[in-house]
Amino acid sequence: MSATVPPTPRTRIRRIAERGRYDADTVREIVDAAWHCHVAFVDEGGVHCIPMACWRSGDALYLHGSNGSRMLKVLAGGAEVCVTITHLDGLVLARSAFHHSMNYRSAVIYGQCTRVPEEDKPSLLEQFMRHIAPGRESQVRPPDPNELAATLVLRLPLTEAAAKIREGGPKDDDADMSRDVWAGVLPVHLAHLPAVRDPACSIEPPGYVREWTANT
Amino acid sequence: MSATVPPTPRTRIRRIAERGRYDADTVREIVDAAWHCHVAFVDEGGVHCIPMACWRSGDALYLHGSNGSRMLKVLAGGAEVCVTITHLDGLVLARSAFHHSMNYRSAVIYGQCTRVPEEDKPSLLEQFMRHIAPGRESQVRPPDPNELAATLVLRLPLTEAAAKIREGGPKDDDADMSRDVWAGVLPVHLAHLPAVRDPACSIEPPGYVREWTANT
């Protein structure tokens, strides 16, 4: 059962409002399908929009990076952020130029990041590893104390969040329906290409590598 | 021949500086491979990060949207923007958790949008159509005066822009090279899936539809 969070002035979708979704499950699905997001924030140099890896655990999105990163320091310092994840699903070809569109699923999250306490970092980073390759968290060398100390993990609650989804075919004006032009959707999809082994590696690929292209 | 624009304080890449590229060709290639971008800007409600369709013409990126959109009005009003395009190319699996990474190509553009004059809108929107489906601009019904009036086209120069690229395999510490764990890259790629014809359309697919999946 998915909680529907009432939209705030920031998350309420006004433009084509019927595309807006405010239930937690829809936001989570969009977040879970992503490996990266775009983080917008303001510092003394102005507004920035930076791609970052991300993962979800429970009701929060997590970001991580170097302790020395200026950006991470600004985020950890409580800057307001807007984090957006977008999956492009297709180009929608209508009979009129005006009604061309794109199919997509996007999630927009507003809030402030907080720094994850030291003791919570190892398990959260393990969850990130599982998000990338389930099972790998027990195969790789885990972070040593220096690496952990060098890594900042930030938590952004999924509280003030909204999704926007466009799906399906073109919506043409009645007067254009008989026009002599192909109409439909050109779908796109983030496909998995065959794994590329490191030349210095002679280890047999584990299941998540063997099944990578099948899980596309 | 590609001009290399000196980085500004905003575009200079400090974190893993060797991944930064400042030549116009690299930025253009990343822009041309995209159908959408993320636009960060600030209004009275704070910072926002909104996905938008985009295309390039010459040395500028173009955005468009409804005349009635609050966001477009803010952008057309000269708000500072940071527009980012990111192509995720792969998950980089290293022998240590710490050295996991992602392969990507990103372009970050700073500046202010200007409103494109009415007389330039038709040809710029035609270029957008060609970017989506070359040749389609002469097949669809072109925008009528009302549709053109309802559409704002914004221009953002590619002047203050930088690209950041990570490619290749994992970079592990020497001490980890003999570890018993698979290392390499799990590549991803925005693939073209088979075109979906609108049920109400009985027109033969044009070349760009027939060749859609081949051009992936």
Mean pLDDT over the full length of chain A: 95
Assign domain A17-172+182-210 to its CATH superfamily. Answer: Electron Transport, Fmn-binding Protein; Chain A (2.30.110.10)
By CB neighbour count within 10 A (0-12 exposed, 13-18 middle, 19+ buried), where does A162 fall?
buried
Q: Is B52 on the interface with A (CB under 8 A)?
A: no
Hey, of B15, B49, B167, B189, which one would you mutate to test binding to chain A, going by the most A CBs within 10 A of its CB? B49
From the list A161, A157, A195, the residue with the least C-alpha distance to A61 is A157
CB atoms closer than 10 angstroms to residue B77: 11
Between A47 and A13, residue with greater pLDDT: A47
Rounded to the nearest angstrom, the gap between the alpha carbon of residue A169 and the centroid of all alpha carbons in its chain is 24
Element (H, E) at B85: strand B80-93
Superfamily of chain region B17-210: Electron Transport, Fmn-binding Protein; Chain A (2.30.110.10)
**pLDDT (0 to 100) of residue A3:** 62
A3 min Cα distance to partner chain B (Å): 24
| Dist CA B74 CA B77 (whole Å) | 5
CA atoms of B67 and A12, how far apart (whole Å)? 19
pLDDT of A29 > 80? The answer is yes
Residues of B in contact with A195 (CB under 8 A): 184-187
User: Mind listing the pLDDT tens digit for each residue in B69-127?
Assistant: 999 999 999 999 999 999 999 999 999 999 999 999 999 999 999 999 999 999 999 99
What's the average model confidence in pLDDT over A88-102? 98
- pLDDT of A4 > 80? The answer is no
Q: In angstroms, rounded to a whole number, what is the distance separating the alpha carbons of residues B111 and B5? A: 15
Instruction: Flag residues of chain B having pLDDT under 70.
Output: 1-4
Q: Does B33 touch chain A (CB under 8 A)?
A: no
What's the alpha-carbon Rg for chain B, to the nearest Å? 21
Check CB contact under 8 Å for B141 and A42: no
Contact call for residues B82 and A40 (beta carbons, < 8 A): yes
Digit-coded pLDDT (tens) for A64-84: 999 999 999 999 999 999 999
- pTM as predicted: 0.96
| pLDDT of res. B10 | 87
Is residue B161 within 8 A of residue B109, CB to CB? The reply is yes
| A&B contacts, CB < 8 Å | 278
Contact A133 B98 (CB under 8 A): no
Cα–Cα distance measured from residue A102 to residue A91, given in angstroms and rounded to the nearest whole number: 5
Give A-chain residues touching B80 at CB under 8 angstroms.
Answer: 46-47
Output DSSP code: residue B179.
-
Under 8 Å between Cβ of B111 and B9: no
**Per-residue model confidence as pLDDT tens digits over A108-150:** 999 999 999 999 999 999 999 999 999 999 999 999 999 999 9
pLDDT score at B161: 96
Task: Return the pLDDT at B216.
Answer: 77
Please indicate if any CB of chain B lies within 8 Å of the CB of A187: yes
| DSSP notation for B44-58 | TTEEEEEEEE-EEET
